[in-house]
Structure 1
Amino acid sequence: MKNLKISFLLTMSLSLFLLISCTSDNEPINEAIDPITDPTTTIELPIVITKTSFTDPLTANPKLGGTITSDGGSPITASGIVWNTTANPTIANSKTNDNTNVGSFVSTMTGLSPKTTYYVRAYATNSKGTSYGSQKTITTADTNTDNTPALMTANIDNVQYDIMRPYLYAVIGDDVKVENNGAEPGAPRYLWIQGDTTDNLDTLIEINLHIPNKQWAPGTYNLYERQDLSTVAESQGDLLLNTDDSATITSGTITVTEFNLTTKRIKGTFSFTYSKFGKDGEFKVTNGTFNYALDSPYFD
């Protein structure tokens, strides 16, 4: 009888142990799912667009910005603009950090050197990484020349260009050149004013103006297609397009509003019509302006 009781107790104990073990093994585990590590959540880089133009581009602290159109599924942790003197700047270069929200923002560039071209673009960062907008360029003012660098503007076939400067201006640094400087006495000298939309030869549009010394004074003068700079003492010019079209100036005027040998500045306006070889119609350049330093050794 005693042995039966012991056997019964052992059987009951074993059954209870197995019941507790099964209950523990099958109990659901309630753990919160981290959305960052959730395999069903896909995080992408943010999408950011660089603004089309600078605010106050000729000041010591120009402004540029961008628009974040998507955070990529993760909060924005930093955004602003980056810049450098070489192309495709990154957050490893000079940068601002002004914004953590989706939408538009504006940032101010600081610590810039005079008469230097900078490459600038907007950026935005989330947990996935950093993305960038398109690249813009800006050339800072020449602090040695009235704090104003060479600047030409023009509306070319209804497209406005607000920052045109001599080709490779940031490298060479000359506002103007005097042509025929070594010619015999009495031969015309020409002041050469050049404006390029960019330093990229594949995409630039270029305007060249050649003003004879007899017109180095306030006044309005006819502007002709460039032909002869050795004997014809008239203002001449040419237009280089970023297409295969050959442009020829058909009529135009140039107005010198200031020619000052004390401040060494020349300022004025211009406009002209032109033709394209093999194409019908009349094409126009309007609202042209120029403001350049007379920094040629000829004026020393």
Structure 2
Amino acid sequence: MSLYKCKNEIVACVWCLLTLFSCSSDDHQGQNNTNEPTKEITLPVLETSTIEAVEAFKATLWGKVINNGGSSISERGICYSINENPSYSDNYEKAGFVKGSGEFQVSLQNLQSGTTYYAKAYAVNEKGIGYGNEVSFSSLDIIAPTLKVGEIKVAGAHDIWLDVSVPNQGDLQIEEIGLVYGTTNNPTIEDNIVTREDVVLDFKARIPNLEPETSYYIKAYAKTLNGITYGDEVTMATIKKGNFTWAFWWEDKNEPAFGRLREAFDKAAWYYNNFTSIEKHVNVNYNTGTPTADANFDGWINFGANPDYQRTGTAMHEMAHTVGVGTHAKYWELMKGTWQGNRANEILQMMTNDPNAEIKGDNTHFWPYGINGAHEDDGSEMLYIIHALVLQGMKADGLPNK
């Protein structure tokens, strides 16, 4: 074999070996560099599921993320509109509560009452915003406050008292509450008005400065952001003004007791004339021998020297004796431990806010509000007013007027 031929064979063998190792290396490298196909990220898939607790201005909705689209959810909630096909660019509210199952709850606030809304669940991932199916609901009409005037009403010659309650406050906060009234039916706030300083849902209202023997139409009212709401109309008449007069049987202007008694009887007569329709004239006698005070149905009143009794409360107490309390057969007929007449007890119950209150008494006195002794006279206006109103109730039950 020639040297040239031998060299060629050696070169050919080396080439084959290099080619063999090169192919093996490429095959091995190809096996190591084979990559999985890249997974495509899609929009989230959702369900708009439950609508619950729909009210005038709010509603609660539920949604659920069925598939996150291969990417974590960065935000989820409900988008809504008064038009169909709502989107994130309209109104939206983020979820306030999320379950592990993917369900979430959203509370929509500040809705318009009586309005149809369209809503979709939404969720945001790396790809973008995905939406659920569209649902619709209608917010409720506004529930206005319910106002009620109590059945028992009490009147003097210039005042009327009524109990007002709000059984249902409705959907809006009450900003102002009170009574409207007038001498013609269907009064409004453009007529006469009595407004409370604060808003409460149960209160007693007094209408002052009225005309005697006049019928008034009255309604409770409440003001909210939605306007004025009125309760049912009631009527009540003021009573005839009383005519209770008095005079000293004799008078010593240098004796201080007469000054105290004059002030006491002027005030007592004022309360009787404005809160009863009693007509009576009485004579007041100052007698130092009288321990405290006494009176009879004939219109005679004695006062002693004790200054603790020379006051308005004792004057009213003795004036009650002159119109039959403890001095007339009709009183004894109606007072059987408790007063048997309806009207006087109704007045006591209404004015004291106690539906179980009863007037009690014996053959001479009644209580409460009989002002039976100086210790019961606290000088308060309501003590004197309720005493007079109870006496007016006794008169309505049959006690003599004169």
Query: Is the TM-score greater than 0.5?
Result: no
Structure holding more helix per residue: 2
TM-score, structure 2 as length reference: 0.30
What is the TM-score of this pair, normalised by structure 1?
0.39
Higher radius of gyration, 1 or 2: 2
Larger RCO (alpha carbons 8 Å, 6+ apart): 1
Structure having the higher strand fraction is: 1
